Amino acid sequence: MSTPPCPLRRRLAGAAALALAGCAAAPGPPRRLYRLDTAAPEPVPEAPAAAEVWAIWPTVALPEYLQRDALLVATDDARLQPLDGERWAEPLRDALPRLLRADLERLRGAGSTWLAPVPAGLVAARLLRLELAELHAAALPPGVRCVARWWLEDPAARQPPRAGSATLHEPQAGTGAEEIVRAHRRVLWRLARLIAA
């Protein structure tokens, strides 16, 4: 016949269970969400209507480390550190095509740039594909690094494709998440200007 458990053991086991439950429920740092605003980061004169319509491929090729919602800072050549509690409000794979379309339309003229497929009745003279090899904040020098390649293809294959590439660094005034997000916006605006040119 087994003996009943000691009251002291019962109390200790109960205290341990409560402590473990408290650890499991302890909140992490508060989450703050950031989005890339489609407003231009600098004044832009109204562009005349472009001679040809461009369609943007609806997905941007991104490396695996950008397939997450954390804001990342490179601390040296190899390490990326997520900022605690700082997150993108939407996946970059969704935000980047929308942002690129808004910037190119602002630079090339109203109705000049669409996400593929273009509306019925329009014919795209060029299909734009974009690949980002890098897009993250850097600790030294403080700023956002962007490495990109793009291709403008003729869907009807009447003209040869045009390709471009850029390595950009956009300085930031501080190390806070808000300034990092603003620097992301500025570097992507610079990229859109290069593509439009």
The amino acid sitting at 88 is W
Q: Tell me, what's the pLDDT at 157?
A: 86
The one-character DSSP state at 175 is: S
Block residue for tokens 């869907």? 155
Give a three-class secondary structure readout of 18-34: HHHHHHHHCCCCCCEEE
> Are 52 and 34 a contacting pair, CB within 8 Å?
no
Rg (CA), the chain: 24
Measure the CA–CA gap between 187 and 189, rounded to whole angstroms.
5
**How many of the other CB atoms lie within 10 Å of CB of 37?**
12
Measure the CA–CA gap between 7 and 5, rounded to whole angstroms.
6
Q: Tell me, what's the pLDDT at 156?
A: 86
Q: Tell me, what's the pLDDT at 141?
A: 84
Count, residues in the chain: 197
Q: Tell me, what's the pLDDT at 20?
A: 47
- Strands annotated E in 25-183: 32-34, 54-56, 70-74, 80-88, 113-115, 126-138, 143-153, 162-171
Q: Tell me, what's the pLDDT at 23?
A: 47
Kindly give the confidence (pLDDT) of every residue in the chain, 197 residues in length, as a single tens digit, with 9 standing for 90 and above: 555 555 545 554 554 454 445 444 455 656 899 999 999 999 988 878 777 999 999 899 999 999 999 999 998 778 899 999 999 999 999 999 999 999 999 999 998 999 999 899 889 999 999 999 999 999 888 899 999 999 999 988 898 999 999 999 999 988 789 999 999 999 999 999 999 98
Class of domain 50-196: alpha beta
Could you state, in order of their start, the residue ranges of all structural domains in the chain?
Answer: 50-196
Q: Tell me, what's the pLDDT at 75?
A: 86
| Beta pairing partners, 115 | 56
Q: Tell me, what's the pLDDT at 1?
A: 52
